[in-house]
């Protein structure tokens, strides 16, 4: 009886010991699990920091690339705009050159029309009718030139400008000051604000030149008279 009780006590103690061991194992397992979870959390936090750092570096690199591409785009756009403007100017210049060449060849015809108009003085009805027909053709020609942007110069009384005029003759003038245009010998023309043909002109030397020439002539006449007087007295 006593032995059975002792065995029961031993069995209970063994059960308690087993329960304690089991509890210790569970606690150890929980501790190990907690440690592993903490380690995993630390690893995850470090990975997250590395990921954020990498993303920040990548973002900074992308921003630099964006600025570089933006600068390249702006430069290319500006170059293209300059190229477009230059092409437009070149085309306009080429057009003006072609038109200028054609119109320059027509201007002598206009000169001949104007000379004929100044010389012709129709008297009979037939001559007047012919003159009116001629005037009609001349007006049509002038109108075509105007439509092409041609404008004639008005130079008489203007100061001589070598960029617009070509001086053919110079002479003294009481009416005009020096370097002012006295007469138009051949009309000049503009095309779209540029010189199509320079005007051939006669330029004033000023009234002083004429006075000096007259004084020289008077001095010469007086010398001749004085010389004749001396000769007469000697004789």
Where do the domains of the chain lie?
Answer: 101-148
Span 193-220, pLDDT tens digits? 889 999 999 999 988 544 444 444 445 4
Average pLDDT over residues 70-81: 90
Q: What is the DSSP string of the chain?
A: -HHHHHHHHHHHHHHHHHHHHHHHHHHHHHHHHHHHHHHHHHHHHHHHHHHHHHHHHHHHHHHHHHHHHHHHHHHHHHHHHHHHHHHHHHHHHHHHHHHHHHHHHHHHHHHHHHHHHHH----SHHHHHHHHHHHHHHHHHHHHHHHTTEEE---TTSBP-TTTEEEEEEE--SSS-TTBEEEEEE--EEETTEEEEPEEEEEE--HHHHHHHHHHHHHHHHHHHHHHHHHHHH-
pLDDT(227) > 70: no
Span 21-52, pLDDT tens digits? 665 566 666 666 666 666 666 667 777 778 88
Higher pLDDT, 59 or 19: 59
């Amino acid at each position: 009886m006593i032995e059975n009780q002792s065995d029961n006590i031993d069995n209970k103690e063994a059960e308690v010991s087993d329960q304690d061991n089991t509890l210790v194992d569970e606690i150890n397992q929980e501790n190990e699990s907690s440690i592993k979870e903490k380690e995993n959390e630390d690893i995850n936090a470090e990975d997250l920091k590395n990921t954020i750092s990498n993303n920040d570096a990548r973002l900074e690199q992308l921003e630099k690339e964006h600025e570089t591409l933006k600068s390249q785009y702006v430069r290319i756009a500006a170059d293209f705009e300059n190229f477009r403007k230059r092409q437009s100017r070149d085309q306009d210049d080429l057009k003006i050159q072609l038109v200028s060449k054609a119109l320059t060849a027509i201007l002598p015809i206009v000169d001949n029309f104007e000379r004929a108009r100044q010389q012709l003085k129709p008297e009979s009805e037939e001559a007047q009718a012919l003159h009116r027909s001629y005037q009609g053709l001349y007006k049509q020609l002038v109108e075509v030139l105007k439509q092409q942007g041609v404008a004639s110069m008005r130079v008489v009384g203007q100061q001589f400008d070598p960029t617009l005029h070509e001086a053919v003759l110079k002479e003294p003038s009481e009416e005009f000051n020096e370097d002012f245009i006295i007469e138009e010998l051949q009309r000049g023309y503009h095309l779209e604000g540029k010189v199509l043909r320079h005007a051939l002109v006669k330029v004033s030397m000023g009234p002083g030149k004429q006075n000096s020439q007259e004084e020289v002539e008077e001095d010469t006449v007086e010398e001749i008279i004085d010389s004749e007087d001396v000769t007469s007295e000697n004789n």
